[in-house]
Amino acid sequence: MTDNHKQNLSDQDERLAEENAAKKTLASIKRRELAYSKSSQKTSSGPNSDKSTALMSRKDKRKLRSERNAEPKVELSRRTMLRQRELILITIPFVLYGILFYYIPLGGWVMAFQKYKPQDGLLGSQWVGLDVFKHLFSEASFRLVFRNTLAMGIINLILSFVFAIGFALLLNEVRLRAPKRFVQTVSYLPHFLSWIIVVGIVRDMLSVEHGIINQILVGIGIFDKPLNFFSKPNLFWWIVGFSNVWKETGWNSIIYLAAITAINPEMYEAAALDGAGRFGKMWHVTLPGIKPTIFILLLINVGNVLNVGFEVQYLLTNGIVKSVSETIDIWVLYWGIGQGDFSLGTAAGIFKSIVSIILIYLANATAKAAGEERLF
Amino acid sequence: MQNIELQPKTEIMPMKKNRFKKANPADVIFVLINTLILSFTVAITLYPILNTLAVSFNDGLDALRGGIYLWPRVISFKNYETVFNTKNLVIGARNSVLRTAISAVLHLSVTALLSYVLSIKEFVFRKPVSLFFVLTMYVNAGLIPTFLLFRELQLTNSFMVYIVPGIVSAFNLLVLRTYMSSLPDSLRESAQIDGANHLTIFWKIYVPICKPVFATIALFIAVYHWSAWFDNMIYNPRNTNLTTLQYELMKLLSSVTSQTSSGGAYGRGSQPVAVTPNSIRAAATIVTSMPIVILYPFLQRYFITGLTIGGVKE
């Protein structure tokens, strides 16, 4: 369920959540480093430090102490626990819930190292080491879905970034409030439609018989006759990519629009003095101004490349394009739930998680080498 | 650019005039192109929805001829009549409304309570418990183990599978916690001195203050549950009493595709009908999307703040 839940949260939500988390870890690391440097200073100054603090007034000492513990440090003692028993009591059910729904399923990962049979259970099934993984990689269909997932992930990543940033930049240039607000409101609308509705719409728009896109393309003479978009395997990834753009561009632009408001207005005045026009300001001030935001979101999303999901591909596919439309998630659904091969399905899921972690580390290392904003 | 020489002059001028003076040709072209692009964006966003609306009010058989754009040609309410008389769609609508309403209220209140506890800086287990939940965003067991767990817990083939999983979502928790942490501690401390317990403080002080951010989170939860169909397909595929609106819509969608590709004729039962799967789907799409489409513009202010909390500011 977590998997499905996560997928269904919009990309933006996930991105933000992870950004929040990332920022927090970053902040906490900084805090720890600060604390560390302070404590090392103290020890390095040796016995003298005691004397120096002894010379301080009590007020200064208190100030120093409060500086050191920007976050109140609470000792884990019976007394504090008794004092905070209400808080602890409230927390217990949540932790139990978390263990049951988020952590116990992780125990299911052992299935990937077993020839799991439901009647034998997790403990009684035969252990097979890495055989399941060997089977997984020797499976041609798995290599195919891995390629598809990666390709669609990369296409989606690039398209969604380019369009969301571009849209935010252009929208920011609208000076009249009412039209700006109107465009903004309209742009959020598709985010609130389910993928089922969006896929229906995409099918209608691209349909051979009366699809508006075919009508226009034939009308202006680009095509001789209507094209059946869904029978062309080389178009499928792009249909998915642009469906995603249609659905999420407005929503994804929210974060950039917010970042733009934080740019110092003096920068624009300076650019104007240098003779920059509207486009020049957008290109040389606004875009660099949101660069840190772009980088951090990009980093987080690189780790999500394999989570292109399931819904669009599952709903849009047909027999002709099956070889390019299936993703890892669909494959897991087919083999794991459909065919009952739980071990294989679990192994594919684990592989996906590992690749995601490697990707996020690589992206982070690249950002570090390039001296850009990074996650950790 | 050409207005570089003008610069000393414009500096002396008051700001208002400045703006008009600076309207150089390049800027005019830029504004024009920008307006064009954004109008195009609005058009391609709205057209498909307006088109679906038009088809849903058009006679089904007539719609097959094509050529319906923004306005129905032969107006008919038959499609909506059929939608509201199709048993599965009505059951699905009931289930969707129920799961959305229950989840939005339950998940929000439960997550908010935990966020309150974790926003208290003196709480001994604040850090470990936060980490415990944040980790769930990154470490994910995957479909199969989750599926087996739900089967073990007898959540499959029951309405509870729509409600129970995801009660505490780490993302919502982080947004709410960040917001509550930004409130002054004295708010809580003064109430504590007056002898209020944490549940009272949460309910009487924090809930009223946090209403805007609660609205945002409730919207996120509601949108998720209103659009969900995957859990229906995986856990409750055969029980028609547990079907949801989106799942029914999905079945309509696939039936439309299979029938158009075989070029078959349409019709339901022996009725000599003027509805087609396609026109019914259009009507069902409109019925399904209307509640949220009408609602979200009013909540726009809130979800933008909700999304940007902790996102950019730091």
* Phi, psi (degrees; rounded to nearest 5) at B269: 65, -150
A127 sits in which H/E element: strand A126-127
Residues of B in contact with A9 (CB under 8 A): 169, 171, 220, 224
Pairs of CB atoms within 8 A across A/B: 301
| Residue B245 forms part of a structural domain | yes
| Residue B256 forms part of a structural domain | yes
| Residue B301 forms part of a structural domain | yes
Mean pLDDT value across chain A: 82
Nearest residue of B to residue A360, measured between CA atoms: B138
> What CATH code would you report for A134-369?
1.10.3720.10
Shortest CB distance from A345 goes to which of B143, B246, B307? B143
Q: In a 3-state reduction of DSSP, which class is residue A51?
A: helix
| Residue B215 forms part of a structural domain | yes
ipTM of the complex in this document: 0.83
Shortest CB distance from B281 goes to which of A167, A200, A259? A200
| Residue B64 forms part of a structural domain | no
- Comparison of pLDDT for A59 and A271, the residue scoring more: A271
Residues of chain A with pLDDT > 70, as a percent, come to 79
Q: Residue B190 is part of a domain; what is its CATH number?
A: 1.10.3720.10
Strands A126-127 and A114-115: antiparallel
For residue B223, what are the domain limits?
Answer: 79-308
| Residue B158 forms part of a structural domain | yes
Nearest to B110 by CA among B187, B27, B173: B173
Nearest to A248 by CA among A15, A13, A17, A10: A10
Quick one: pLDDT at residue B65? 84
Give whichever of A80-84, A122-126, B39-43 has the largest mean pLDDT: B39-43
Quick one: pLDDT at residue B49? 94
| Residue B274 forms part of a structural domain | yes
Count of structural domains within chain B: 1
Report d(CA A191, CA A246) in Å as an integer: 9
Task: Tell whether B125 is within 8 A of chain A (Cβ).
Answer: yes
Nearest residue of B to residue A254, measured between CA atoms: B304
Contact A201 B48 (CB under 8 A): yes
| Residue B241 forms part of a structural domain | yes
Please report, to the nearest 10 degrees, the dihedral formed by the alpha carbons of residues B46, B48, B49, B53 taken in order: 130
Mean pLDDT value across chain B: 83
Domain boundaries, chain A: 134-369
The token pair at B135 is 């980790």
Task: Tell whether A353 is within 8 A of chain B (Cβ).
Answer: yes
Give whichever of A116-125, B13-22, B118-127, B254-263 has the largest mean pLDDT: B118-127
Residues of A in contact with B120 (CB under 8 A): 87
Shortest CB distance from A87 goes to which of B198, B300, B314? B198
In a mutational test of the A interface, the residue from B144, B213, B238, B262 whose CB has the highest number of chain A CBs within 10 Å is B144
Task: Tell whether B15 is within 8 A of chain A (Cβ).
Answer: no
